[in-house]
Amino acid sequence: MTEKNETRINEWFVPRFGPTKFRIFVGLLFLPYTAMCVSFTVIGSLLADNILWERVGAIALIYVLALGISAHAADTLGSRKLKPWGSHFSRNQLLLLMAGALAISYGIGIYFIVFFVPLLAMIAVLEGFFLVAYNFEIFSGRFHNDFWFVVSWGVLPTLAGFIMQTNSVNSLPLAVAIGTGLVSYLEIRMSRPYKELKRNASPHESAKKLEKGLKVISLGTVAIALGFVIYRIIFS
């Protein structure tokens, strides 16, 4: 198996330029899927009647750090299976990435919890638990499955966005969170067989179809979130 296959450096979301380690670092972040989850926080935020835009940015940044960097570093550290990026970063480097990004994200979150939105503490505790339980596969991997992925990556980010704006939850964000959960379910159900095909360097047509589907889901979610932002700016 070649280094490209081992690292998945040929993934569609990895840049074709720059030093190898830079490209592998970008791959480690799984940017389209991180952006999809961050988009859920934006969508949840914009369901509120009155938008506080600095809080939209804050909750998005929290998830970029905690999920995009920390959770993916934790996944590489904690998985029982060989991860495609792990051999290119030392354990200490991954621990530093995980702990540093998590400390900053929780620092921002605690500030808003203490002064503005105490209900956000519920999300912070749950997401912190899932970051450890899912990625380090504790409790015999009981939380490392599609259902808890959907809860932590699809449902809670949407609720977090709404709570960040209103310090409350009602039927609207709950309904939308179910929808974003279903989107994340489609993503993970496509992602698992796709990763196996990529790991085996399979030229099979199924890999191309799954990749196309993943692009539609992730980039389409980002486009919807951006469209929602434009709509709220114009009509609020």
Q: 3-class SS at 8?
A: coil
pLDDT digits (tens, 9 = 90+) for 126-178: 999 999 999 998 998 899 999 999 999 999 999 999 999 999 999 999 999 99
Q: 173: domain CATH number?
A: 1.10.600
97: CB partners within 8 A, 6+ apart: 69, 70, 73, 89
**Which of the four pLDDT bands, split at 50, 70 and 90, describes residue 2?**
very low
Q: How far apart are CA 97 and CA 204, in angstroms?
A: 35
pLDDT-above-90 percentage for the chain = 71
Instruction: Identify the CA nearest to 99 among candidates 129, 139, 65.
Output: 65
58: CB partners within 8 A, 6+ apart: 108, 112, 164
SS3 content of the chain, % helix, strand, coil (to 5): 80, 0, 20
State the first-to-last Cα distance of the chain, in angstroms, to the nearest integer: 54
202: CB partners within 8 A, 6+ apart: none
Domain count, the chain: 1
Which range of residues forms the domain containing residue 173? Answer: 3-235
- Report yes or no: 183 and 217 within 8 Å, Cβ to Cβ: yes
Q: Give the Cβ contact number of residue 187 at 10 Å.
A: 23
pLDDT digits (tens, 9 = 90+) for 96-113: 999 999 999 999 999 999
pLDDT digits (tens, 9 = 90+) for 5-48: 445 677 888 888 888 888 888 988 999 999 999 999 999 999 99
Q: Please tell me the predicted confidence (pLDDT) of residue 202.
A: 57
The length of the chain, given as a count of residues: 236
